[in-house]
Amino acid sequence: MELERLDDYRWEIKKTGAMKVPARIYSSNALIEAVKKEETFKQLVNVAQLPGIVGRAMAMPDIHWGYGFPIGGVAAFDIDNGVISPGGVGYDINCGVRLAVTGLEESEIRPRLERLATFMQHHIPSGVGSTGPLKLSEAGLKKVLKQGSPWAIAQGYGEARDAERTEDGGCMPDADPAAVSSRALERGRGQLGTLGSGNHFIEIGVVDEIYNPGAADAFGLRAGQVTLLIHTGSRGLGHQICDDFLAAMTKKAGQTGIKLPDRQLACMPVNSAQGRAYYRAMACAANFAWANRQILMHIAADAFMAALDISPRDLAMRLVYDVCHNIAKIETHTIEGQKQKVCVHRKGATRAFAPGHPALCELYRQVGQPILIPGDMGTASYVLVGTREAMEETFGSTCHGAGRVLSRKAAKKAARGRLLNRELEEKGIIVKASGKSTMAEEMPEAYKDVTEVVEVVHGCGISKKVAKLRPVAVIKG
């Protein structure tokens, strides 16, 4: 598996052995060294061996170890001859990011920032197994799975325009609750409106730099503006759906004739009965996640107003966009000069559609898709925009975040004896976490340099920088 450097940001493994396509990694000279030492290198080569894969198996600069597929992985499969794999989506289906802006300036919140962070933590249920404010019957939950964020909006959690500013309008139409197990339904029923744990967070930030004034203006971003970033997904429901279908597909692996280089890549033909069932169940989890983030934004707005004693008009919160990271979607792309329908897996990767794409909402269609890249809690997050290069090269995909460099166990070991809260306070960042272990696992050094990751995708043209957001308060699950 010889890695060939193509240019400053592209590295490729030529098609050899059982590989059906080459494997490409987008990375910098510094970031690639870590990849060479990890099993992620091998994971990407394994993906390139799956039936019906087209183009290349790809990894974004935030690549790190995942289940089956590397996190940061992108792969597209022919609808007729290809496969769909739960490992290519991940356990946290539609783990994603939502960005909202406010009418506030940093100077207006800084004197009451501690109070604001405390109110935010108290308003938003977080942590393992946390339950939310909605008590749904099974029938009610199935409506959420069918309708996504429009369901939450209809219940009073937001405005109609929010759905327009959400990827896919906040609803995948192929969702079928009949494909979801009773165990998954039970796990998800009490978790709508909760943040979860691990790397999920609420971040209050400030627009620190503008790189592309035209796109920033279209997105409603201006320097000094207070922002809200929400990062969470489909909670226990999505995890159980992944678990259910991985078990079922692994059990039937010997019956398909598909040779798997890794059992974690368990898959089924896209158009098989089980492949279609997984897609419909996955769409349910995606819709749950969009509804979840829609509700969390509404709760966060209430926390802002209560903590600062201001009105909705003073807050002037408005959704910029909501993107998902872990998903498989049926899309049409141009491959070798021909339009082809494919199943695109984005695991720890973000859709990056170019200006003019019909899937984009009318508001942003002439600019390109907003892309939201969260960093670690001590650095920065970024807003980017989709490009034609991404459509031509990566099936309209880019990175999704900083990407881990330390396991949670290694991070906790490295954090021993350190007062992480105090270190971050000295940088002007207040952090509220459910426990010391969460702080340690999510310490800034556990992640790659998000600025360098963003420079890679900007430099190679698969997305372009629009703005940088500086965190001032972070609530961790």
Classify residue 169 as left (phi > 0), alpha (psi -120 to 50) or beta. left
Question: Minimal CA–CA distance to 174: which of 271, 266, 95?
Answer: 271
Q: Which two tokens stand for residue 275?
A: 């492949």
Question: How far apart are the C-alpha atoms of 109 and 226, rounded to whole Å?
Answer: 8
| Residue 343, pLDDT score | 98
Average pLDDT over residues 137-149: 96
Question: What amino acid occupies position 195?
Answer: L
- The one catalytic residue in 64, 200, 345, 400 is 400
Residue 23: band (very low, low, confident or very high) from pLDDT cuts 50, 70, 90: very high
The rounded percent of the chain whose pLDDT value lies above 70 is: 99
Confidence class of residue 18 from pLDDT cuts 50, 70 and 90? very high
Is 400 a residue of the active site? yes
The pLDDT score that the predictor gives to residue 165 is 97
pLDDT in tens, 50-92: 999 999 999 999 999 999 999 999 999 999 999 999 999 999 9
CATH code of residue 63: 3.90.1860.10
- pLDDT for position 127: 66
CA geometry: angle 90, 91, 92, nearest 5 deg:
95
Which domain does 314 fall in, by range? Answer: 3-476
Confidence of residue 166 (pLDDT cuts 50, 70, 90): very high
DSSP designation for 364: T
What 3-state DSSP class applies to 443? coil
pLDDT at 122: 92
Model confidence pLDDT, tens digit, residues 243-294: 999 999 999 887 888 989 999 999 999 999 999 999 999 999 999 999 999 9
Say what the pLDDT of residue 300 is. Answer: 97
User: What is the structure's pLDDT at 417?
Assistant: 79
Least confident of 244-248, 379-383, 423-427: 423-427
Q: For the segment 128-141, what is each residue's pLDDT rounded down to a tens digit? A: 667 778 889 999 99
Burial per residue of 238-277, b for 16 or more beta-carbon CB atoms within 10 angstroms, e otherwise: bbbbbbbbbebbbeebeebebebbbebbbbbbbebebbbb
Average pLDDT, the chain: 94
Higher pLDDT residue, 257 or 387? Answer: 387
Is 80 exceeded by the pLDDT of residue 187?
yes
Comparison of pLDDT for 205 and 41, the residue scoring more: 205
Classify residue 17 by burial, with Cβ atoms within 10 Å: 0-12, 13-18, 19+: exposed
Place of tokens 């503008």: 210
Among the listed ranges 191-195, 289-293, 401-405, which one has the minimum average pLDDT value?
Answer: 401-405
Specify the higher pLDDT residue, 306 or 379.
306
Q: Measure the CA–CA gap between 46 and 143, rounded to whole angstroms.
A: 38
The stretch 291-303 carries a mean pLDDT of 97
Query: Is the pLDDT assigned to residue 435 strictly greater than 80?
Result: no
pLDDT of residue 13: 94
pLDDT score for 11: 96
Total domains in the fold of the chain: 1
pLDDT cut 90: percent of the chain above it: 81
Q: What is the pLDDT of residue 403?
A: 85
- pLDDT, position 348: 96
Q: What is the pLDDT of residue 313?
A: 97
